[in-house]
Amino acid sequence: MENFTIRIEAQRLAEGLLAQARENELEITADLQKIAPEVDAKIIGLENRFKAEKSLARKLSLLADRDKSNQSVQHKLEKFARRNNDTLRYTFILSNDRYARDFYKTIETLKQNGFLIPQNRIWNAWENAETAKDTGYK
């Protein structure tokens, strides 16, 4: 696939991911707004809860390009689209003095409310603080 075709396919997949996110957004947002006070959290950035389509397409293209497997580019793009976890995203702000406790309370409350939290998708970004792997986002 040439670069133009890759971009077009990544764009198509990004559109599909965003359409799916929009179908579920109202219910998810309402659930999270209900859960936040239960876990002493504040939700910020709701205006940015959808990843921009252009940014999502670019991310899919970059991931497929970096993948050195022998799979077709189409297969790589579809694989990364299935694994994508930030089309719809939320930010909870937790108190510094109760951060760890409230983090675990948040995870448990989300699970109790029917949210699937894959264990392999939780990582301690604080371990990378002030290292080359530090993205600035925790």
25 belongs to a structural domain:
yes
Q: What is the pLDDT of residue 2?
A: 58
What average pLDDT does the segment 14-35 reach? 96
Letter for the amino acid at 127? Answer: E
Q: What is the pLDDT of residue 138?
A: 61
Dump pLDDT digits (tens) for 47-90.
999 999 999 999 999 998 888 999 988 899 999 999 998 899 99
138 belongs to a structural domain:
no
Give the model's confidence band at 105: pLDDT under 50 very low, under 70 low, under 90 confident, else very high. very high
| 125 vs 40, higher pLDDT | 40
Q: Are 77 and 7 in contact (CB under 8 A)?
A: no
What average pLDDT does the segment 93-122 reach? 91
Q: Determine phi and psi for 93, rounding to 5 degrees.
A: -105, 125
User: How far is it, in rounded angstroms, from Cα 69 to Cα 73?
Assistant: 10
Token pair of 59 as six digits: 């991310």
For residue 133, the 8-state DSSP code is T
123 belongs to a structural domain:
no
Q: What is the pLDDT of residue 20?
A: 96
59 belongs to a structural domain:
yes
- Please count the structural domains in the chain: 1
- Residue range(s) defining the domain that contains residue 13: 3-96
Average pLDDT along the chain? 90
Token pair of 127 as six digits: 């371990």
Q: What is the pLDDT of residue 73?
A: 86
Q: What is the pLDDT of residue 127?
A: 80
| 127 vs 95, higher pLDDT | 95
User: How far is it, in rounded angstroms, from Cα 64 to Cα 79?
Assistant: 9
Q: Which helix (H) or strand (E) holds 12?
A: helix 3-38
121 belongs to a structural domain:
no
pTM for this entry: 0.80
109 belongs to a structural domain:
no
| 60 vs 129, higher pLDDT | 60
What average pLDDT does the segment 9-24 reach? 96
